[in-house]
């Protein structure tokens, strides 16, 4: 018989608290299970499920747990198997507790997949928002920069115009002052004119 392929899963509230794979001893440890070992048939129905402690988990990973030659399941307590669960070469319906664990695991898987999908959707929305914000920020920055450049150019033109006007006014004032001085000088020294 082909060995069943097992997966290590986190222990659930409904898991058996003791290890199903420890060798039977005079002083059994009653609350040592840390994980679950689950094997599935090709049709996705649970073929075997059991609680496992940290030491037996290491042995499982190192292929030091023995399998039943008749059904391919891991032997319980390192010595026996529950082949009596076989009926016509297939396992019977699981016990209520095992069925509940399987249903619970399936429910947890669906919930995690749903959470993952939601998280991915939220991430995509966040990415889109950040991209939009970045684009708007660039556009706003470019617009602000252009507005500032236009304002600077306008002010420079205004300054140049004012400087030109100021220069013209100075020239006019200088011209008027010169004309006034000449008129005053002419009046002041008019008695010096020699009559012919």
Give the model confidence (pLDDT) of 155-189 as tens digits.
Answer: 899 888 888 888 888 888 887 778 777 766 666 65
Q: What is the pTM of this model?
A: 0.41
Distance CA 150, CA 158 (A): 12
Distance CA 22, CA 52 (A): 8
Give domain limits for the chain: 6-94
Residues 6+ apart with CB under 8 A from 81: 68, 70, 71, 73, 75
pLDDT at 153 over 80: yes
Can you tell me whether residue 49 is helix, strand or coil? strand
- Residue 37 corresponds to which tokens in the numbers above? 């070992």
Each residue of 33-72: pLDDT tens digit? 889 888 877 666 667 888 899 999 999 999 988 888 888 8
pLDDT at 59: 92
pLDDT at 57: 92
Among 28, 38, 137, residue whose Cα is nearest residue 77: 28
CB neighbours of residue 178 within 10 Å: 10
- Residue 21 corresponds to which tokens in the numbers above? 């794979």
- Residue 188 corresponds to which tokens in the numbers above? 């002041």
- Residue 162 corresponds to which tokens in the numbers above? 């004012």
b/e string for 126-150 if b means 16 or more Cβ within 10 A?
eeeeeeeeeeeeeeeeeeeeeeeee
Each residue of 60-112: pLDDT tens digit? 999 988 888 888 888 888 877 767 655 555 544 444 444 555 566 767 787 88
Distance CA 183, CA 179 (A): 6
- Residue 177 corresponds to which tokens in the numbers above? 């002052």
pLDDT at 134 over 80: yes
Q: Where are the alpha helices (DSSP H) in 12-95?
A: 54-61
- Backbone phi, psi, residue 183, to 5°: -65, -45
């Amino acid at each position: 018989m082909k060995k069943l392929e097992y997966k290590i899963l986190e222990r659930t509230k409904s898991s058996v608290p003791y290890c199903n794979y420890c060798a039977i001893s005079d002083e059994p440890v009653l609350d040592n299970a840390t994980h679950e070992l689950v094997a599935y048939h090709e049709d996705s129905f649970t073929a075997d499920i059991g609680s496992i402690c940290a030491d037996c988990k290491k042995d499982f990973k190192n292929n030091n747990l023995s399998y039943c030659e008749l059904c391919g399941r891991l032997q319980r307590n390192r010595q026996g198997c529950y082949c009596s669960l076989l009926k016509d070469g297939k396992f019977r319906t699981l016990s209520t507790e095992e069925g509940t664990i399987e249903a619970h695991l399936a429910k947890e898987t669906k919930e995690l997949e749903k959470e993952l999908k939601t998280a991915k959707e939220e991430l995509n929305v966040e990415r889109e928002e950040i991209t939009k914000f970045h684009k708007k920020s660039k556009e706003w920055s470019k617009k602000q920069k252009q507005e500032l450049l236009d304002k600077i150019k306008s002010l420079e033109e205004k300054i140049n115009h004012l400087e030109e006007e100021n220069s013209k006014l100075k020239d006019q004032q200088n011209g008027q002052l010169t004309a006034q001085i000449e008129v005053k000088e002419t009046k002041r020294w008019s008695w010096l004119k020699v009559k012919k």
